[in-house]
Chain A
């Protein structure tokens, strides 16, 4: 957990996450931020509480005859398996998508030393890890629709502000930005975009069909 987070998720995003209405890629960014931020975690839990209150207040719909017996037949008496909590460099939600920790990420270069790894989510939006070497700039790009960029390690700066570990930048299609990593450390981000990410310089654009973005 990180108490130094300065850029949080919006209430709208947290509500949509609680309601289960976010595309998978955005839900991944939200879940990862919640793993790093107590403040948003508390808000998310109270939003779940609203969901619980709504379900409690519903008039039930009658279950089919024999439903209880059918469910009872599926219960087993085995004691519940203990939960393993593995710690890692990357937050658990991201590790679940990589199938391992930072050393298992299959990076692909996108130019200027920047690397990315696209994570497999449903197509409604796309998620990727970005690796920006210390002091380097993310190739200039724009996007259709919303983009969430969450810093996992290091920090970056763009026209709007500076973003450190746990910080999330919410950008829309108006934004045409060039994040630059701090000189101190390489920057690793988790980013989700609604539309395709479009790089402006010719090298990444040529490479786009091959790297699946």
Chain B
């Protein structure tokens, strides 16, 4: 289910993001939309949103991608990861109406143009991570997915976040250990 094991040095969608940021290029945006909007919608549906709500939300997420294009830094995240964070934050205010506190940002911004080698490195890391997730044992992978879709019950969430040891917590820990190992 995870693509991205092919060897490339060009990080996917980074060129489009630059054209959106620098030239407000609508064709580049349309291409990005074709790829990410359906994935964001699927993510929100899997997170429990009604399809019509997920549709509206996915549209909002893509508008945010356009507006915040100058905040994207390809040396710190893949485009998919950046889109994920926007979709996750949108889901939080949609489903829970909570604010999403974000850490202080020191380096992101239009004045910071990352080194090409850092961008390549980030891309390679992303590919390794994709391969590592794909090779996780089924049970661990499903739990990681459920955790990210917000698809765990309160009790299960408590097991992840709280102190008592539960199977879910230890399975996720196991999965994370494996992933970290694969990233070395």
* Residues of chain A at the chain B interface (Cβ within 8 Å): 11-13, 15-16, 18-24, 26-28, 30-32, 34-35, 41, 44-46, 48-64, 67-68, 70-72, 74-75, 77, 79-80, 82-83, 85, 91-93, 96-97, 121-122, 124, 145-146, 170, 172
Question: Which of B78, B96, B105, B108 makes the CB contact (< 8 A) with A52?
Answer: B78
Is A82's CB under 8 angstroms from B110's CB?
yes
**B145 smallest CB distance to A (angstroms):** 6
Chain B residues bordering chain A, tally (CB within 8 A)? 87
Q: List the A side residues contacting B114 at CB < 8 Å.
A: none
Complex CA distance for A80 and B80, rounded to whole angstroms = 21
User: What residue in chain B is nearest A62 (Cβ atoms)?
Assistant: B38
User: Given A21-B152, A46-B129, does the pair A56, B3 have CB atoms closer than 8 Å?
Assistant: yes
Of A20, A49, A61, the contact of B91 (CB 8 Å cutoff): A20
Give bound CA distance, A68 to B37, whole Å: 9
Task: From A22, A35, A54, A70, give the contact of B161 (CB < 8 A).
Answer: A22
Q: A27-B98, A60-B38, A85-B106 are in contact. Are A51 and B85 (CB under 8 A)?
A: yes
Q: Is the CB of B169 within 8 A of A56?
A: no
Q: How far is the CB of A103 from chain B (nearest CB, A)?
A: 19
Given contacts A24-B101, A82-B110, contact A11 B173 (CB under 8 A): yes
Measured between C-beta atoms, what is the minimum distance from B127 to chain A in Å? 9
Residue of B nearest to A72 (CB): B26
- Contact check: which of B38, B43, B81, B176 meets A48 at CB < 8 Å? B81
Q: Once the chains bind, are B103 and A21 in contact (CB under 8 Å)?
A: no
Check B15 for interface membership: any CB of A closer than 8 A.
Answer: no
The chain A residue sitting closest to B76, CB to CB, is A45
Report Cα–Cα, A212/B157, bound state, in Å. Answer: 27
Q: How far is the CB of A65 from chain B (nearest CB, A)?
A: 11
- B2 contacts A by Cβ under 8 Å: yes
| Chain A residues in 8 Å Cβ range of B152 | 21
Structural contact, B2 and A57, CB atoms closer than 8 A: yes
* Residue ID in chain A nearest B51 by CB atoms: A61
Q: Which residue of B lies closest to A22 (CB)?
A: B161
Q: Is the beta-carbon distance between A71 and B160 smaller than 8 angstroms?
A: no
- Of the candidates B30, B70, B149, B163, which one forms a contact with A146 in the assembled complex, judged by CB atoms under 8 Å apart? B163
A63 contact from B24, B55, B104, B134, Cβ within 8 A: B55
Distance of A124 from chain B, by nearest CB (Å): 8
Within the assembled complex, what's the spacing in Å between the Cα atoms of A60 and B29? Answer: 17
Beta-carbon nearest neighbor of B43 in chain A:
A55
In the complex the two chains form, what is the Cα distance from A12 to B144 in whole Å? Answer: 12
Query: For residue B12, which residue of chain A has the nearest CB?
Result: A56
Please tell me if the beta carbons of B89 and A54 are within 8 angstroms of each other in the complex. Answer: no
